[in-house]
Amino acid sequence: MLPTVPVPDKHVADYAETAGEEAVQRLVEAARPLRGLRLLQLNSTAFGGGVAELLATHVPLLNDLGIETTWAVLQGSDDYFAVTKAVHNALQGHPVEWTPQMAATYWERIVANAAEVPGDYDLYLVHDPQPAAVLRVLEEEGRRAGTWVWRCHIDLSSPHEPVWSFFEPLVNRYDAAIFTLPEFVRPGITGPRLAVIPPSIDPLSVKNRPISEETMHEVLAAFGIDPERPIITQVSRFDPWKDPLGVIDAYRLVRRNVPGLQLIMAGSLATDDPEGLAYLDRTEEHRAGDPDIHLLTNLQGVGDLEINAFQQAAAVIVQKSLREGFGLVVAEGMWKRKPVVGGNVGGIRLQIEDGVTGFLVEDVEGCARRVAQLLADPDLRARMGEAARERVRQRFLSLREIEDHLRLFSTLIGEARN
């Protein structure tokens, strides 16, 4: 059996206050016909990045709803994760060379992991390309059991074709595939039933629940950040798609007119992202010793509470991605009543209503202009922050996403029984 991730208990009833009693009841009803179902969730990291964040909430809540859910993690290797990161980049549009050696490295780990996938679950929910090919191995070995769903979290709007054509037939074996946006569904995906389900944030998590001013100030003090001067924050893995260098350039443009401005860039180093350290070094170089740019990672003790404080402390949140499947950090900032200035790409477009809950920007100059505008106008910040909070409340909280999943599962299980 693959290693599993232990998760603390969570209870759906506790969400009534933020999501509403009606949402709780709807979810309980949607789960009723599925009680006792055994669900295995499979991804490639227990820590760092959006998928691990989602599973840490979904797995305990599904269990609370009576769906016996286990979170298993694929066992990679340095070589394998180097390949799957190249795959991730290629599927988001970067032209990487796809060699037979890379494919062999991928298959070697997939075959080894497939041998460890238990056969006694009703439903398998497989996240992203890293473990996607496990199903094919099981089929070839005559060990396929249960219903299989592939969940794509990345921005598939313009993939590098040689890599996508490797994955397309693997994805086409699934019973269903879930995407964040309709434009991520490639025309060649003709096998699975398709569902569009945007991700969500957990309003009760340590990262998202309200914290006191005092706690926030303690966190800022621990990292040498001045609460009296304006702060802009971007929380992201150190990854070219998150454009940390562009964020620094935008900060520098704004700082010409706001000399006290501080920039917090916090990014965890995920176990399945081998580029993280190298890209952190590049960002550190670009920082060029500026004491008002705070580059912080989990290695310095940045955990969920610290991320919460950094988002809460910001006058403006930035997410200047160049590609983005969804961008949980955007919803996290909006939930904290912050206007978010985000790249006009992928899932960020779904969250930010331009000019209402924040601003969508195309480049460094546009980003700097909008950040400066917001810093100069506290009323606009407050207005957008309220609208942002409401948008997340209506569309991007955990219960809604879990309910969407349960409706899909019911359809699939119904079909499997007939």
Residue 146 or 159: which CB sits closer to ligand UDP?
Answer: 159
Token pair recorded at residue 303:
């955990």
Q: Please tell me whether residue 133 adopts helix, strand or coil conformation.
A: coil
The residue (of 41 and 147) whose beta carbon lies closer to ligand UDP is 41
User: What contacts 332, CB < 8 A, 6 or more positions away?
Assistant: 201, 207, 208, 235, 307, 311
**Nearest approach, Cβ of residue 329 and ligand UDP (Å):** 4
Cβ closer to ligand UDP: 136 or 338? 338
Structural contact between residues 377 and 141, judged by C-beta atoms closer than 8 angstroms:
no
179 makes contact with ligand UDP (CB under 6 A): no
**Residue placing its CB nearer to ligand UDP in the complex, 113 or 321:** 321
Query: In this structure, are residues 109 and 131 in contact, taking their beta carbons and an 8 Å threshold?
Result: no
**Could you say which of 267, 274, 333, 343 contacts ligand UDP (CB under 6 A)?**
267
307, 317, 364, 392: which one contacts ligand UDP (CB under 6 A)? 307
Q: Does 266 bind ligand UDP (CB under 6 A)?
A: yes
* Residue 25 C-beta: closest distance to ligand UDP, Å: 28
Q: DSSP string spanning 84-126?
A: HHHHHHHHTT------HHHHHHHHHHHHHHHTTS-S--SEEEE
Candidates 22-30, 108-116, 226-234, 262-270; binding stretch for ligand UDP (CB under 6 A): 262-270
Long-range CB contacts (within 8 A, 24+) of 337-340: 337/382, 337/385, 337/386, 337/388, 337/389, 338/311, 338/314, 338/381, 338/385, 338/388, 339/374, 339/380, 339/381, 339/384, 339/385, 339/388, 340/316, 340/388
Q: For residue 185, what is the DSSP state?
A: S
Phi, psi (degrees; rounded to nearest 5) at 85: -70, -40
Residues 41-80 that bind ligand UDP (CB under 6 A): 49-50, 53
Contact map string, positions 327 to 356, toward ligand UDP, x by CB under 6 A: xxx--x------------------------
Q: Which is nearer to ligand UDP, 89 or 113 (CB)?
A: 89
Q: Which of these segments, 3-11, 29-37, 126-134, 266-274, binds ligand UDP (CB under 6 A)? A: 266-274
Q: Tell me how far, at minimum, the Cβ of 226 lies from ligand UDP, in Å.
A: 21
The 187-226 contact track toward ligand UDP, x by CB under 6 A, reads --------------------x-------------------
3-state DSSP assignment of residue 151: strand
> In whole angstroms, what is the distance from residue 174 CA to residue 125 CA?
10
Candidate ranges 181-189, 210-218, 234-242, 255-263; the one touching ligand UDP (CB under 6 A): 234-242
Interface pattern 84-123 for ligand UDP (x via CB under 6 A): ----------------------------------------
Give me 298's structure tokens.
Answer: 């989990």
Report the residue closest to ligand UDP, judged by CB: 50
Size of the site for ligand UDP (CB under 6 A): 18
CB of 113 to ligand UDP, least distance (A): 21
Is the CB of 117 or the CB of 235 nearer to ligand UDP?
235
- What is the 3-state secondary structure of 229-261? CCEEEEECCCCHHHCHHHHHHHHHHHHCCCCCC
Reduce the DSSP state of residue 269 to 3 states and report it.
coil
Minimum distance of ligand UDP from residue 49's CB (angstroms): 4
By the criterion CB under 6 A, which residues form the site for ligand UDP?
49-50, 53, 207, 235-237, 266-268, 298, 302, 307, 326-329, 332
